Amino acid sequence: MIHPVILCGGSGTRLWPLSRRDFPKQFTRLLGENSLFQACAHRFQGAGFAAPLVLSHADFRFMALEQLGEMGITEATVMLEPAARNTAPAVLAAALHLQAKGAGDDLMLAAPSDHVIRDVEAFLAAVQAGAPAARGGALVTFGIRPDRAETGYGYLELADAAACASAQAAPVARFVEKPDARAAEAMLAEGRFLWNAGIFLFRVDDIVAAFEMHAPQMVPPVRAAVEGAQPDLGFVRLDEAPWNDVPENSIDYAIMERAARVAAVPVECGWSDLGAWDAVWREMGPDAAGLAQSGEVTQIGCTDTLLRSEQDGPRLVGVNLKGIAAIAMRDAVLVADMTDLQAVKAAVTQMKAEGVREAETLPRTYRPWGWYETLELSDRFQVKQIVVPPGKKLSLQSHVHRSEHWIVVKGTATVTIDDAVKLVTENQSVYIPLGAVHRLENPGKVDLHLIEVQTGAYLGEDDIIRYEDIYNRA
């Protein structure tokens, strides 16, 4: 039995403005109808795989559960990390959780949720090819046969060049950091190097033993966090106190580069980590002129260019552009040279330092009950659009500094104001006085859309006193 462990804690800042802290790239519909996270979870639904174990930040718990539900995946365990600590603590927490469930002799497959794998059959065949080595005690990784001198990936060097052409697990001589262009060209020509896909297969007991040997300082706090984990609305919430003492590190640095028995399975499966917009451009399939486009776009004479206008974004017009990535959203636009897209991360860092809201926050804010979007914000009033799917409801709450006016524009709302409960339908409105205890819910079968007008001295999201909440938020 193989236990898929899906890691979905990354932030994907190089894909700004689409990917941001409050809605990272793994949950976006970047390349089709399904998100990258959904595609990853679906990959492991075949025979021989147990129900997935998902490691997610607590902020994304309802997002992950909802997207799993859309795929019909109902048996997954979603484990919540109180804070991001990189991949090593997440993998160890998953292993200790499985070990406690009696699965120490089983295999676990740790996979990032934000990668693309076009040839799923080839990848699953590589997993089966690596399984005997993993059962024999090796820590197995997967190496992608390179088709270009890529500087955005780390590499694996195999001891034998002939092994790169095989489909079997072979010993890894060393891990190589992301190279410069000259080094990448040399490694491509040498033929003994593979791209490091960052996907790992090993016995549960073996990876725990590897942590005890190579990263012993990490084991006690992670073990305490797992042992102290509590159920929370169907999630498994790791104990925050010991988790805060866990050192941050990646599984590559903490374990794989130090372990004695590391093997790689070479594979060609149409893999990409979508680490920057040029990778998205390749995956979109540029035309003969090298142009890839999506959304409300008009172009004249553009070559080797990516043009994307995302949902609700403005019309994007490109004229005689060459080697440019232009991504437009309602609140932000990125225009960058295709040869320097790794610098997008530095731009996001600079915006964060300057306190720019758009660096991390989308116009649309997602909540477990639906989403809202600010349409207008001024000194003493704010106008929002709010959407609540069928069966969802907001917390029972009150505000100290603001009153609210709700106008239903689509669907039906059940509104509680103090002791009164009323049904509000399309083109009707209701007023919530300052200090009133109130709640909004959707009893219908279609999404509820309403316009909320807030007035008051303070309009921040922290002006909420919750009395009851079905989502167990503080």
Last residue in a domain, options 247, 272, 297: 272
9 DSSP 8-state letter: -
Q: Could you tell me the pLDDT band of residue 167, with boundaries at 50, 70 and 90?
A: confident
Residue 474: predicted pLDDT:
65
Inside any domain, residue 109: yes
Whether 51 contacts 75, CB under 8 Å? yes
The residue range of the domain holding 131 is 2-272
Q: Is the peptide bond before 112 cis (omega within 30 degrees of 0)?
A: no
Residues 253 and 295 reside in one and the same domain: no
Q: Specify whether 318 is located in the same domain as 427.
A: no
Q: Which of 101, 91, 20, 106 is nearest to 54 (CA)?
A: 91
Name the average pLDDT for the chain.
95
Residues 6+ apart with CB under 8 A from 454: 381, 382, 383, 384, 402, 403, 404
Burial class (CB in 10 A: 0-12, 13-18, 19+), 355: exposed
Identify the burial level of 391 via C-beta atoms within 10 angstroms of its C-beta, where 0-12 means exposed, 13-18 middle and 19 or more buried: exposed
CB atoms within 10 A of CB 27: 23
For residues 442 and 344, what is the distance between their CA atoms, to the nearest angstrom? 40
428 and 305: one domain? no
- The reply to whether 119 and 230 lie within a common domain is yes
For the cut 90, the answer to whether the pLDDT of residue 58 exceeds it is no
Q: Do residues 251 and 396 both lie within one domain?
A: no
> Quick one: 196 and 331 in the same domain?
no
Q: Is residue 65 part of a domain?
A: yes
Per-residue pLDDT at 191 exceeds 80: yes
Report the number of distinct structural domains present in the chain. 3
240: confidence class by pLDDT, cuts 50, 70, 90: very high
Indicate whether 262 and 377 sit together in one domain.
no
- Range ranked top by mean pLDDT from 6-10, 21-25, 239-243: 239-243
Q: Are 179 and 157 in contact (CB under 8 A)?
A: no
Helix axes 219-227, 87-100, angle to 10 degrees: 50
Amino acid identity for residue 54 in this structure: V
Clarify whether residues 258 and 305 are in a common domain.
no
Q: What is the mean pLDDT of residues 457-467?
A: 94
**Same domain as 430, residue 307:** no
- Average the pLDDT over each of 32-36, 159-163, 367-371 and give the range with the smallest value: 159-163
Predicted confidence band at 297 (pLDDT cuts at 50, 70, 90)?
A: very high
Percent of the chain with pLDDT over 70: 100
E strand intervals along 216-304: 230-232, 235-237, 262-267, 271-272, 291-294, 297-300
The answer to the question of residue 414 being in a domain is yes
Residue 136 included in any domain: yes
Q: What CATH number is associated with residue 430? A: 2.60.120.10
pLDDT at 219 over 90: yes
9 and 58 together in one domain: yes
Element (H, E) at 56: strand 53-57
- SS3 assignment, position 223: helix
Residue that terminates a domain, selected from 272, 303, 327: 272
Has residue 347 been placed in a domain? no
In terms of domains, do 210 and 309 share one? no
Query: What's the CA gap between 163 and 46, in Å, rounded?
Result: 28
Quick one: tokens of 171? 């010993």
- Classify 452 as helix, strand or coil: strand
Q: Is residue 36 part of a domain?
A: yes
pLDDT tens digits, 414-447: 999 999 999 999 999 999 999 999 999 999 999 9
Cβ–Cβ under 8 Å, residues 326 and 307: yes
- Over residues 329-350, the mean pLDDT reads 94
The model's pLDDT over 132-142, given as tens digits with 9 standing for 90+, comes to 999 999 999 99
**176 shares its domain with 200:** yes
- Rounded Cα distance, 9 and 65, in Å: 14
Give the pLDDT band (50/70/90) at residue 160.
confident
What pTM was computed for the model? 0.90
The b/e string for 144-175 (b: 16+ C-beta within 10 A; e otherwise) is bebeebbebbebbbbeeeebbeeeebbebeeb
The CB density around residue 180, as the number of other CB atoms within 10 Å, is 9
Residue given tokens 């820590």 in the structure block: 139
pLDDT value at residue 390: 97
DSSP 277: H
Nearest-angstrom CA–CA distance, 120 and 125: 9
Is the per-residue pLDDT at 68 higher than 70? Answer: yes
- CATH code of the domain in which 132 resides: 3.90.550.10
Residue 61 lies in a domain: yes
Is 280 inside any structural domain?
no
Beta-bridge partner residues of 57: 81
